[in-house]
Amino acid sequence: MTQHLSSTQDIPEFSAIPRHVAIIMDGNGRWAGKRMMPRVAGHSEGLSAVRKIVQECHRSGVQYLTIFAFSSENWRRPPEEVGFLMKLFLKSLKGEVARLVENDICLRVIGDLSRFDPAIQEMVQFSQEKTAGCKAITLTVAANYGGRWDILQAMRRCLEVNPNLKPEQVTEELLAPHLSMAYAPEPDLFIRTGGEQRVSNFLLWQLAYTELYFTDILWPEFDELELRKAFHWFSQRERRFGRTSAQLASQALSDAV
Ligand code: IPE
Ligand code: IPE
Ligand code: MG
């Protein structure tokens, strides 16, 4: 497995198109409410937006796309909505796997899958195996995922592997390989639709130096044009990773020579 260094240890290479995009797809319920439709209709519509955005990321050269489908806190929703989301997850896994393979898209699912129905767990396993050799883009779906859960499970696994670890021996390098997305570099760009400006327990560790983009557009309306707007905004950012602007300018000058 490729080991990606954390942004606090190494400065990642810059490119105008983000290598890794992480999205909180928010606003499905409000999209439906505005149309006098039940909330769940917004979730179905949201799935069409997912297809569009995966394709556009693929076309643009994004290598990793990570989407938040269900948080560890979303179990608090009414049981009918949770049940609908579970059915939709299973249906979309079944319906999309052939298309993923055809488009060379590798699927990974992160989160505590043990709470899901066995049929979902099996389908996740099957879809991951079927797409394991795909190389064009890695699509990660975060399901029953929480950033705090991720850090805790990584800590537990780290202690399992190194049972005699002393507190002073705990380092980023030792912990990071146990995080559930250790196969990917940290996200360059985070997008949250739906107008809220919060992280809602998404990738807490991995967002340390990610550029954060918030838009009022509701997820079912987020399309290729909106994604390109986010990429344009990203390309204008000065990613300093702790350094000064003057240091960046002199590095750009020496790179040019
Ligand atoms: C995001 O949309 C989808 C999930 C959390 C599954 P919401 O369902 O949160 O939509 P709003 O925020 O209520 O509009
Ligand atoms: C975050 O959206 C989770 C997903 C998009 C899956 P929420 O709608 O659950 O977030 P909060 O509750 O508004 O913070
Ligand atoms: Mg929401």
Domain positions in the chain are 20-256
Whether 26 sits among the annotated catalytic residues: the reply is yes
Number of H helices, E strands in the chain: 8, 6
pLDDT digits (tens, 9 = 90+) for 41-79: 999 999 999 999 999 999 999 999 999 999 999 999 999
Q: Give dist(CA 5, CA 3) in Å, integer.
A: 6
Question: Is 73 labelled as part of a ligand binding site?
Answer: yes
Q: Give dist(CA 132, CA 1) in Å, integer.
A: 13
Q: How far is CA 156 from the centre of its chain?
A: 22
pLDDT digits (tens, 9 = 90+) for 121-134: 999 999 999 999 99
Domain boundaries 20-256, corresponding CATH code: 3.40.1180.10
Residue 251: what pLDDT? 87
Q: Which of 73, 17, 19, 25 lies closest to 192, judged by CA?
A: 25
| Closest residue to atom 2 of ligand 2, CA basis | 26
Residue 2: what pLDDT? 62
Global pTM? 0.96
Residue 6: what pLDDT? 86
Is the pLDDT at 1 greater than 60? The verdict is no
Residue 255: what pLDDT? 86
Q: Which atom of ligand 2 approaches the CA of 74 most closely?
A: 9
Helix (H) or strand (E) run with residue 190 in it:
strand 189-192
pLDDT digits (tens, 9 = 90+) for 178-230: 999 999 999 999 999 999 999 999 999 999 999 999 999 999 999 999 999 99
Between the CA of 223 and the centroid of ligand 1 the distance, in Å, is: 17
Q: With contact defined as beta carbons under 8 Å apart, do 192 and 219 qualify?
A: no
Is the pLDDT at 15 greater than 90? The verdict is no
